[in-house]
Structure 1
Amino acid sequence: MGKDNKSVLVTAEQLADFIDRALQASGLPSADAACVAALMARADLQGSDGHGVIRLPQYVKRIRAGGINPRPDIRVAEERPGMAVVDGDNGMGHLVMSRAVELAIEKAAATGVAWVGTRASNHAGPASLYASMPIARDMIGLYFAVGSANHLPPWGGIDMLLSTNPIAVGIPAGAEPPVVLDMATTVAAYGKVKAKAKRGEQMPEGWMIGFDGRPLLDPNRAHEGFLLPIGGYKGYGLALVVGLLAGTLQGAAMGRDVVDFNKDHVTLTNTGQAILVLDLKAFGDPAAFKEAVDRLVRDIRGSRRLPGVDRIWLPGEQSHERRKAYAREGIPLPAEIVAELRELAGQWGVDPLQVQPS
């Protein structure tokens, strides 16, 4: 998990510090900038490189163009004992979702189960960040979101009316790492397409097809086609349902109302997300549940394998291992991204990103 000859190593602390300074220079208050920076650095630390510092130029551009409110009044717009809707006032999605998870945990502690949705939010990084937050409180988190640009047509069509609409689930375990599933409803998240383009790599066949129905492999030509849903028409149906729950239910954008934040830096996106939190204590003994999860994890990991398969992985295990390795060795960033960030730092009026000695 070390770096290759085209990457540069940085620590999570160096990354968070740089992001923090860039966001403060763009108008975010100190505490808000630190919160967003920590979550973005955590994304890179776990290997979610399509949602980490690679997104910083885009965020800063939107903030400075007026597309994101740097000083939002994040408030609860609707509320009952087991639910709430948080209005993000067009603030950074990381801040809006952090508030939503915090509220859902608080409500689930009282009611056993709580749903908190958002509207007037923005792109918030990898779904697993938020699904994992309740784990420390012996709670399960289920996260849903409407993607920040439409890259998926209805099954059999070519009009972009749906997005990657991700799902994530975080389930506590005992001695084993927690089970954390984080998946787009498309074969690949669009952030992975952007990461491939930054690295100068081709996409695998099966990620995208062109409007002519043929495989699309060049990420720089992504505008000439669309992402494919997981499981064919089943993934299309799942993307639709997730969007209705995370977007339409909260009064957030869905379908043709979704703004492509990759191209439009001014228009408010009205992004919708939702977190469902279940308190293990409401269902029985948390310790017994976590022991059962450990037992199942070990059964799956130790089960018979196909020829050539070295290990059976559980959802979240590879991110867990990557997090430990990157914390020890440093986070590898493509040299091209580091060079771009150094150039932009001068434009933003901040000191450049510090990296590990080569």
Structure 2
Amino acid sequence: MELRENGSIAVESSAALYALPPLRTFVTGVLTSNGVAPKDADVVAERMLEADARGVPSHGITRLAPYVERVRAGGYNLDAKPRAVRESPVSALVDGDNGFGQVVMTYAADLAAEKAAASGLAWVGVRNSNHAGAGGVYAARALEHDLIGLYGAIGNANHMAPWGGVAPLLSTNPLAVAIPAGEQPPVVLDMATTVVSFGRLKLASQRGEQIPDNWVMDTATGEPVTDPAQAMHGLLLPIGGYKGYGLNLVIGMLAGTLNGAAFGSETIDFNHDHASPTNTGNMILMVRPDLFRPLEEFKASADARIRELRESRPVDPARPVRTPGDAWESRQRRSRERGVPIEPGTVAKLTALGAAHGIALPAPAGEDDR
């Protein structure tokens, strides 16, 4: 199995490329056929395909079928109206009204950007939301306004144990940070606090590929698991040992407990329970750099540091040093021009899903030649 520098699983070489506009039409068509409001379906499609376009397929269009299953089970409020229930010039608590996570978090991120632009910084917490997809797409919304963005979330199933234990009380609890620059690519860190996300583990399991021995441990023995089938029933390991556990816990307290959202044993496993409200929690902080120094001065310094890192001597001359998210924008630009790669297994599922709704999956635009 090939892992990219950003930790994502490389898509199989047999993947076909699909143009983004017809894919978006396909996603919105399937969702609206199930009673989702067109404006909400459009936001969900945009956030999902943004993940695919930026190289995070585990949180992209592959999630469409599970979302539809949840809609049919009554797990979403299809008339949800996210709103701020507590508010100050620099903060807000958003109640998602059990709506789609992508819709709720887009609302929360835009509210944070609006407040930060006016007041210099803003912290927005979220409760009563749902799975929102890739965290980086929300942190990166800050970049559109020359803001720094920091995002944290409660995962939607407990796949990790507290350090030294075997009880599944913690989720992947992701962290994403976006820092603007000038001429250099922005720094965009998007990571789970487990070694890999559960979505990436599912991709490996679907392909039947052996996994590294530092991803999953056996729930009974604590021993490493490398069999992908067995791994789906194991526990994900935290990044950096006990330090990753600590980071996971802190994000859980700030995105969950602080907002009155589910955390620990309260967390609903949305992989198996499609009907119960998940009360998913998120938090996003946005900061205006000019609180500390002039914006252009900050960007010039950020450029210098990023350039220094990227131009430093690599271990392997064929693999230059990278910074988090340095391909974020270029990958999205390429996806818009050529399409996003979707592997055969996902294509088959999407084709069947579309057929059940009388909607054809668009034809591929070409073959992936990466």
2:73 is the counterpart of 1:68: no
Normalising by structure 2, report the TM-score.
0.93
Structure 2: distance between partners of 1:354 and 1:251? 45
Structure 2: distance between partners of 1:230 and 1:258? 21
Aligned to 2:7: none
RMSD: 1.7
Q: Percent identity?
A: 46
Q: Is the 8 A contact 2:140 2:149 kept in 1?
A: yes
Residues 77-96 of structure 1: per-residue CA shift (max 9 Å, x gap): 11111110100010000000
Structure 1 segment 1-358 matched on structure 2, within 5 A: 5-211=13-219, 212-307=221-316, 310-356=319-365
Residues 253-298 of structure 1: per-residue CA shift (max 9 Å, x gap): 0000000001110111000001000012322311111111111111
Structure 2: distance between partners of 1:12 and 1:197? 27
Q: Is the 8 A contact 1:342 1:353 kept in 2?
A: no
In the TM superposition, what is the alpha-carbon distance from 1:150 to its structure 2 partner?
A: 0.5
Give the total of aligned pairs.
Answer: 358
Structure 1: distance between partners of 2:322 and 2:103? 32
For residue 50 of structure 1, give the secondary structure of its aligned residue in structure 2: helix
Residues 235-255 of structure 1: per-residue CA shift (max 9 Å, x gap): 011101100000110000000
Structure 1: distance between partners of 2:366 and 2:307? 40
Normalising by structure 1, report the TM-score.
0.96
For residue 326 of structure 1, give the secondary structure of its aligned residue in structure 2: helix
For residue 69 of structure 1, give the secondary structure of its aligned residue in structure 2: coil
Closer, same or farther in 2 for the Cα pair 1:204/1:329, shift >3 Å? farther
Structure 2: distance between partners of 1:12 and 1:328? 9
Give the counterpart letter for 2:275 in structure 1. Answer: V
Q: Is the 8 A contact 2:155 2:174 kept in 1?
A: yes
Closer, same or farther in 2 for the Cα pair 1:295/1:339, shift >3 Å? same
Residues 296-345 of structure 1: per-residue CA shift (max 9 Å, x gap): 11101111222566200000013334323333332111111101111111
Q: Gaps spanning 5+ residues in structure 2: where?
A: 5-9
Q: Gaps spanning 5+ residues in structure 1: where?
A: none
Q: Is the 8 A contact 2:173 2:192 kept in 1?
A: yes
Structure 2: distance between partners of 1:272 and 1:3? 30
Q: Is the 8 A contact 1:341 1:353 kept in 2?
A: no
Structure 2: distance between partners of 1:355 and 1:6? 12
Structure 2: distance between partners of 1:126 and 1:251? 22
In the TM superposition, what is the alpha-carbon distance from 1:4 to its structure 2 partner?
A: 5.0
Closer, same or farther in 2 for the Cα pair 1:204/1:30, shift >3 Å? same
The answer to which of 122-131 and 215-224 deviates more is 215-224
For residue 118 of structure 1, give the secondary structure of its aligned residue in structure 2: strand
Structure 2: distance between partners of 1:13 and 1:186? 33
For residue 272 of structure 2, give the secondary structure of its aligned residue in structure 1: coil
Q: Is the 8 A contact 2:166 2:222 kept in 1?
A: no
Structure 2: distance between partners of 1:90 and 1:236? 28
Give the counterpart letter for 1:65 in structure 2. Answer: A
Structure 1: distance between partners of 2:251 and 2:113? 21
In the TM superposition, what is the alpha-carbon distance from 1:65 to its structure 2 partner?
A: 0.7
In the TM superposition, what is the alpha-carbon distance from 1:12 to its structure 2 partner?
A: 1.7
